[in-house]
Amino acid sequence: MSDTAASLRHIAVDALTLDQAKREHDALAAAIAHHRALYYQKDAPEISDADYDALERRLNGIEARFPELAREDSPTRTVGAAPAGGFRKVRHAVPMLSLDNAFTAEDVDGFIEQIVRFLNLKSADGLEFVAEPKIDGASLSLRYEDGALVQAATRGDGAEGEDVTANVRTIADIPHRLTGPAPRVLDVRGEVYMTRAEFFALNARQAEAGEKVFANPRNAAAGSLRQLDAKITAKRPLCFFAYTWGELSEPLAETQWDSLQRLRAMGFKVPGQSTLCRSKDELLAYYARIGAERPDLPFDIDGVVYKVNRLDLQERLGFRTRTPRWATAHKFPAEKAQTLLKAITIQVGRTGALTPVAELEPITVGGVVVSRATLHNADEIARKDIRVGDTVVVQRAGDVIPQIVEVVQDRRPADSQPYAFPTVCPCKLATPAHREPGEAVTRCTGELACPYQAVERLRHFTSRNAFDIEGLGIERIQLFYDQDRIKAPADIFRLESREAQRLDKLVNMTGFGKKSVENLFKAIDARRIIAFDRFIFALGIRQVGEATAKLLARAYRTVGHWRERMLAASAERAAKPDETKPELVGEAYAELCAIEQIGMSVADDIVEFFAEPHNLAALDDLLSVLTEVQEFVPPRVTSSPVLGKTVVFTGTLETMGRSEAKAKAEALGAKVAGSVSAKTDYLIVGADAGSKAAKARELGVATLTEQEWLDLIGQGAEA
């Protein structure tokens, strides 16, 4: 995690200023994206489950208090990470989503209360839940047509995964053909895992053969599933549990429980520890029982999952951007151990943030050897008074790099000294590192002159969701940077013209084969035509992730128009830097802020990018070496009476909760706003409506009763 996010962690979310929240939100989003990529793409996590969960909890809290910071590409609205290379990509017909987490009995209370509010129920009486162990493995989607397995895919980023069909056919637990009656189309979801006994046996074989050993059963299962050679997967002892489904041509049953029994009858294994619960007390009793049984289970679990049993209620509850409202994961607490902190090293990120890392005496925690932990920033080190030579308490919940919880003070050496945070960057230039007043982050002031930052920015530019240049990974970027071959993005596209006449020299200097270099040139050339949204994302503008880049591309359509309007918005903002109302800043700036999910916080970062002459020069230089930045063409959308309309709800609704009403409107293509403006198309008025109704009359906005709204969207009869 970056210094910004970590240093502000000790400030309660309620006490954060908007500026602090914005900076921490940006740092947290980047950290979560980084750790998701390590976990889902490389099967090589750097932090513990507990550390990762803490990042997501903090981000959720910030977005709850500052909803204007919640963007479409926020980790709270996305799942997993983009699929890795080497496999054909598979688009999931129904997205594979994640789960919200509960950590305490109060969190479970909150989960149930949210369901009651959303469904507008009087109480939780009568609600049933299916409780099941949360298997710590790799998520998998299995598509069956007419009873036959036709495709298997990893979760990937939730929307697109990797085709691992050939590998999956080697797993004994997965039927090639279903037994008994089944829907014509059935997309079964579940978890590929490895038992602990098989995991230890596999590691013994790997060690004996001088090959890689795995950190834990989850990594072993994921790595085995994603082998490019199915023969290797066939030799790995993989298992599979089914627990849910995606696309269906017909329902399996009326409840989650009965659907699981249908899956069992078709030939799938489902967790035998699953049970039905009818109250919070029964859920918590199940959690305690499974927690006690955990050491004796043959497979690793990191919690339990609760799901609303009735499928009609699941359908009404629906989904948030990345999680269902009808399910949650109740996680187990982290495991702890003590070890020696031998040294503190410094890492430098893309934005120049200096992140301290604890180098630990290797220690086994929960069956995994760990040797490093992030210390976040200077404030975190000072707050916990962490010193080199200390004995520290570390915790882990399933991964490799733990969190340092505290120092064991009575074991501190007598000559111990407080850690002095560096004032210069560890790069060869020894550039001064500076911490702005009121900020927690210490940054290298060298910007692009700092090789660490320059290389990280180039890595982002070539990353999978940006220009996606195959063969130009971090090792080659670092090498080409050190050799002065690539210093800026445009240099990538000049590499072939500069080096083609000296191909043999390039091969000799880099150690790459001639064919490898030729393939790299081809991969670079193939990216001279790039989608507009990928181009925007690749620039690395602060707060502009993939989803925000798509919003900008949709709004401005062409790179020329976008550049022109951003320059205009930048000039307007420079003239009125303290104005808090977009419409008073200027037309172009207000136009930018009016884009869905983009408020003044994001807009300011975008216009600041265009205000920097070297950024504009780099952008124009890049455009000069590309063949085409493709115009954005909006996808075809289905018909809806409220498609593209902006609606606002006010007052108490009778037929459904406010959250359900908003979710239904968004599902029909409407934009749901929190306040009435001249751009509002409909105000839906419930009982006890307040000032919004008066505002709507003043602006001439159409006002609908709840029944009129239901009639408009075709649900009047149901109401």
Of 398, 348, 329, which Cα lies nearest the Cα of 39? 398
Banded model confidence at residue 541, pLDDT cuts 50, 70, 90: confident
pLDDT at 693: 85
Residue 672 exposure: Cα atoms within 13 Å on the Cβ side: 14
Tell me the average pLDDT across 500-510.
Answer: 59
Q: For residues 426 and 450, what is the distance between their CA atoms, to the nearest angstrom? A: 10
pLDDT at 588: 92
Can you name the residues that pair with 327 across neighbouring β-strands? Answer: 307
The residues annotated as belonging to the active site are 134
Which residues are within 8 A (CB) of 130 and not within 5 positions of it... i.e. 6 or more apart? 256, 257, 260, 274, 275, 276, 277, 306, 307, 309
- What residue type is 703 in one-letter code? T
- Residue 637: pLDDT above 60? no
Tell me the average pLDDT across 544-548.
Answer: 85
Banded model confidence at residue 399, pLDDT cuts 50, 70, 90: very low
Q: Give yes or no for a contact between 510 and 520, defined as CB atoms under 8 angstroms apart.
A: no
pLDDT at 594: 78
pLDDT at 529: 94
Pick from 2-11, 540-549, 699-708 the range whose average pLDDT is largest: 699-708
Q: For residues 205 and 202, what is the distance between their CA atoms, to the nearest angstrom? A: 5
DSSP 350: T
The residue among 14 and 343 whose pLDDT is bigger is 343
Q: Give yes or no for a contact between 507 and 521, defined as CB atoms under 8 angstroms apart.
A: no
- Residue 489: pLDDT above 80? yes
- Residue 237: pLDDT above 60? yes
Tell me the average pLDDT across 263-284.
Answer: 94
List, for residues 80-130, the tens digit of each pLDDT value.
Answer: 444 444 678 888 999 898 898 998 999 999 999 999 999 999 899 999 999
List, for residues 188-200, the tens digit of each pLDDT value.
Answer: 999 999 998 898 8
Q: What are the backbone dihedrals phi and psi of residue 292, each rounded to the nearest 5 degrees, phi first?
A: -70, -35
Banded model confidence at residue 530, pLDDT cuts 50, 70, 90: very high
- Residue 6: pLDDT above 60? no
Q: Give yes or no for a contact between 363 and 339, defined as CB atoms under 8 angstroms apart.
A: yes
Tell me the average pLDDT across 137-144.
Answer: 94
Per the prediction, the chain carries an average pLDDT of: 84
pLDDT at 131: 97
Q: For residues 676 and 648, what is the distance between their CA atoms, to the nearest angstrom? A: 7
Tell me the average pLDDT across 524-528.
Answer: 92
The residue among 11 and 661 whose pLDDT is bigger is 661
Question: Is residue 296 exposed (0-12), middle (13-18) or buried (19+ Cβ within 10 Å)?
Answer: exposed
Q: For residues 79 and 322, what is the distance between their CA atoms, to the nearest angstrom? A: 6
Tell me the average pLDDT across 168-175.
Answer: 92
Tell me the average pLDDT across 636-658.
Answer: 79
pLDDT at 79: 45
Q: For residues 622 and 437, what is the distance between their CA atoms, to the nearest angstrom? A: 35
Residues in the chain: 719
Banded model confidence at residue 36, pLDDT cuts 50, 70, 90: low
Dump the DSSP string for 563-593: HHHHHHHHHHHHH-TT---HHHH-HHHHHHH
Pick from 141-150, 354-363, 447-456, 586-595 the range whose average pLDDT is largest: 141-150
The least confident of 7-11, 313-317, 421-425 is: 7-11
- Residue 8: pLDDT above 90? no
List, for residues 427-447, the tens digit of each pLDDT value.
Answer: 777 778 888 777 778 888 766
DSSP 3-state assignment of 447? helix
pLDDT at 82: 45
Domains defined along the chain, listed by start: 3-78+334-411 (2.40.50.140), 91-331 (3.30.470.30), 447-527 (1.10.150.20), 532-630 (1.10.150.20), 646-712 (3.40.50.10190)
Q: Give yes or no for a contact between 301 and 283, defined as CB atoms under 8 angstroms apart.
A: no
pTM passes above 0.75: no
Of 364, 344, 354, which Cα lies nearest the Cα of 416? 344
Question: Helices 105-118 & 658-667, crossing angle to 10 degrees?
Answer: 70
Tell me the average pLDDT across 468-473.
Answer: 86
DSSP 612: -
Q: For residues 381 and 420, what is the distance between their CA atoms, to the nearest angstrom? A: 10
List, for residues 42-92, the tens digit of each pLDDT value.
Answer: 555 666 656 776 787 788 778 777 776 766 566 665 544 444 446 788 889
- Residue 397: pLDDT above 60? no
Banded model confidence at residue 718, pLDDT cuts 50, 70, 90: very low
pLDDT at 445: 73
Pick from 181-190, 355-364, 418-427, 489-498 the range whose average pLDDT is largest: 181-190
pLDDT at 433: 86
The residue among 299 and 596 whose pLDDT is bigger is 299
Q: For residues 501 and 486, what is the distance between their CA atoms, to the nearest angstrom? A: 17
pLDDT at 270: 94
pLDDT at 80: 42
- Residue 497: pLDDT above 90? no
